[in-house]
Structure 1
Amino acid sequence: MSSRRVGFCLSDKKRRRMNLDAFADFCAGHGVEVVKIDLTQPLAPQGPFDVIVQKLSDVIVEAEHDSQSQQLLFNFQSYVSAHPSTVLLDPLPAMTQLLDRFASYRIMSKLHNSLRECSICTPPYLEIHSASDLSSIQQAVTTQGLSFPLLCKTRVAHGSLSHEMSLIFSAGSLAAIHPPCVLQSFVNHGAVLHKVFVVGDRHFCVERPSIKNFPSGPCERKTIFFNSHQVSKPESSSDLTALDEQMPCLPPPSSEALAALVRELRVQLGMALFGVDVIINIHTHTLTVIDINIFPGYEGVPQFFSSLLSHIKSVLDKQASAGPQVTGSPVLRQTTGGPSAATTGL
């Protein structure tokens, strides 16, 4: 691994959250140089890179309406295309699909069939593409088999607004939703969220607070608005996460089921750095997948640095044994109604 160079193309906030400086020191002790890529400067003089680890969510989302971000994204694509031996973690098209909850929920919905033997499922959901009359939305909720309460989430799964969600208790309250958005049946899960962090072929499960149980079925309770990031912080404590009554502890997620879930998602997503939010249904004890996250924070995973470096090593070993790769020209394309997607040949 001597003289290997790994570039990190991350926002300042992401660099701080993952403590990139500490990771750079850790890698230096293993013969790997970590380089902070400045996307506003030409990439070629900053290289060469054996691997680029990126989370360009901000740039991709902003490129939807900002020409400067479009140019930054195009420059990045052009560099990757011109340097086919550089491994990209993770590929832009794979990562981009998770910025669109319509796309990611379609992936999640396939898990029910592919992992049926593992008792893994996802809640029923409904895509709301644009403003529509209330009766049409109510009819669609019934037709698609959704049940109250309903979680309402923004379509774009990035940025501060993506954490702003609502819990809807009646058909009449659907009049207040703001499309494009996703409606998802709320599953009672004992106020416990299991965050699964994936790093290559390794995964780690961390328990977090979550929303308390509510009676099933419609009622006249007012819509509850909340920030999911605040609710599920390790130290979170609020009325929304406090159970109303004592209930038996739910069993932890099956290690075999989690391993099967991670294997399936790695194939479906074509990614190595992602997170999965899962809960345990209090009635059926079924492992229920409720969200997928791009390159999460990995809080509570003490083995993150060693696991990431180990995965980088394995990727480089495979790249070396496979020989040079050929990539196509970078292309910017527009997904239907969603964020701009960038394609590379990787």
Structure 2
Amino acid sequence: MLTRTVGFCLSAKKWRKMNLSAFAELCRNHGIDVVQIDLSRPLPAQGPFDIIIHKLSDLMVEAQYNSQSQQLLASFQEYTAAHPYTVLLDPLPAMRKLLDRFVSYRIVGRLQTAIPGDQVCCPPYVEINTSDLEEIQEAISRHNLSFPFICKTQVAHGSSSHEMALIFNEEGLKDAHAPCILQSFINHNARLYKVFVVGSSHFTVDRPSLKNFPLGPSDSKTIFFNSHDVSKPESSSHLTELDKEMDWPGPPSEDVISTLVTDLQAELGMSLFGVDIIINNETGRPTVIDINIFPGYEGVPEFFSALLHHIQSILKDPPPQGAEREETQDLDHTHAPTHGPCCPVSSHVKPPSNISVTSTL
């Protein structure tokens, strides 16, 4: 009997946090072996793999300045190049786009004009590549941004990417350290909607978020915060406490979410990602504030079943002629169509259908 193998290339911390040992047991009950990949060991000895599911975003960031990370990433890319029929979830070129907030916001900006009916938008923003305050002020004026601003790092992943600042006036612009994004703050009644995508399914959960602040410049000092801490499911930060009782904005409509997810998958060719959405409390318009690579799927009890379904749907596709393998074949033999850099993503990733949404309110 042909054994199908899925490799997970994740940090030990993420493996434990997502309880993937339980998912591995679920897969075994369906005839699929799960291997926890160790990048410090030769990959051929751990495979072969029909599918590799990974979150190499942190490694990709570290590879920009760390030689050991560069070597680990190079070895991984060499392996996928030598095994072009291994499905890679998700493709590294797409992940590189989302590692850069400058690029990801441009993508959302393009989708904003492509989706009919002004259904979604992103907040006005400006890319800052200078520490010169006059240049920053000129760029803010040119892009018609208004205080307060959220300041975010250009790098969208890694430990520092969650460190943000809320800037209320020109004096506070000294706290914007380039390269960064300055994004107009949108009041949204302290609710964030996280859309978690798993192949052809997506799920929406609500989280705490920043409370409302008066629009326009004020004398308030810059507020520094960690977005991960503020938007934890159990967060009780003073930054999320509204000054008065207000109705929570309802989640974006299913039509809006479905269209957005479909367009993002077509743009990125990715299967496992998240979208952070707020609802403008003045206009009621859904506003995309971030796109995340392989999020934690907290609050999505259906994650295991959705991921297993996605894996099974990929494994249903037979390998190209001549690419079949048996358990006794050499470990370097190739198999199963790829989503990786050696094969066009568009030939394998299809727009989602039969979208399901789980709303936890």
**Separation (CA, whole Å) in 2 of partners of 1:116 and 1:167:** 32
Q: Which amino acid aligns with 2:148?
A: P
1:344–1:68 Cα change, 3 Å: farther
Structure 1 stretches of 4+ moved >4 Å: 321-325
The aligned residue for residue 86 of structure 2 is 86
1:259–1:69 Cα change, 3 Å: same
Q: Which amino acid aligns with 1:269?
A: L
**Separation (CA, whole Å) in 2 of partners of 1:322 and 1:283:** 53
**Separation (CA, whole Å) in 1 of partners of 2:40 and 2:174:** 43
The aligned residue for residue 110 of structure 2 is 110
Instruction: Note the C-alpha offset of 1:216.
Output: 0.8
**Separation (CA, whole Å) in 1 of partners of 2:220 and 2:11:** 40
Q: Which amino acid aligns with 1:229?
A: H
The aligned residue for residue 147 of structure 1 is 146
Q: Aligned with 1:240: secondary structure? A: helix
1:235–1:321 Cα change, 3 Å: same
Aligned residue runs from structure 1 range 60-139, under 5 A: 60-117=60-117, 119-131=119-131, 133-139=132-138
The aligned residue for residue 42 of structure 2 is 42
The aligned residue for residue 53 of structure 1 is 53
**Separation (CA, whole Å) in 1 of partners of 2:279 and 2:135:** 32
The aligned residue for residue 208 of structure 1 is 207
Contact 1:81/1:345, CA 8 A, preserved across alignment: no
**Separation (CA, whole Å) in 1 of partners of 2:195 and 2:163:** 21
**Separation (CA, whole Å) in 1 of partners of 2:91 and 2:261:** 18
Structure 1: stretches of 5+ with no match in the other structure: 326-341
**Separation (CA, whole Å) in 2 of partners of 1:50 and 1:282:** 46
**Separation (CA, whole Å) in 2 of partners of 1:224 and 1:97:** 28
Q: Aligned with 2:240: secondary structure? A: coil
Aligned residue runs from structure 1 range 1-346, under 5 A: 3-117=3-117, 119-131=119-131, 133-318=132-317, 320=318, 343-345=341-343
Deviations 1:6-35 (A, max 9, x none): 001111111112111111011111111000
Instruction: Note the C-alpha offset of 1:247.
Output: 2.2
TM-score (ref. length: structure 2): 0.88
**Separation (CA, whole Å) in 1 of partners of 2:62 and 2:130:** 21
Q: Which amino acid aligns with 1:130?
A: T
Contact 2:128/2:178, CA 8 A, preserved across alignment: yes
Q: Aligned with 1:183: secondary structure? A: strand
1:266–1:143 Cα change, 3 Å: same
Q: Aligned with 1:256: secondary structure? A: helix
Deviations 1:117-152 (A, max 9, x none): 251111111111232x21110111111121111000
**Separation (CA, whole Å) in 2 of partners of 1:176 and 1:88:** 39
The aligned residue for residue 336 of structure 2 is none
**Separation (CA, whole Å) in 2 of partners of 1:267 and 1:149:** 33
**Separation (CA, whole Å) in 2 of partners of 1:226 and 1:238:** 10
Instruction: Note the C-alpha offset of 1:43.
Output: 0.5
Instruction: Note the C-alpha offset of 1:104.
Output: 1.0
**Separation (CA, whole Å) in 2 of partners of 1:144 and 1:324:** 55
Contact 1:3/1:31, CA 8 A, preserved across alignment: yes
The aligned residue for residue 359 of structure 2 is none
**Separation (CA, whole Å) in 1 of partners of 2:15 and 2:197:** 18
**Separation (CA, whole Å) in 1 of partners of 2:260 and 2:153:** 25
Q: Aligned with 1:22: secondary structure? A: helix
Q: Which amino acid aligns with 1:211?
A: L
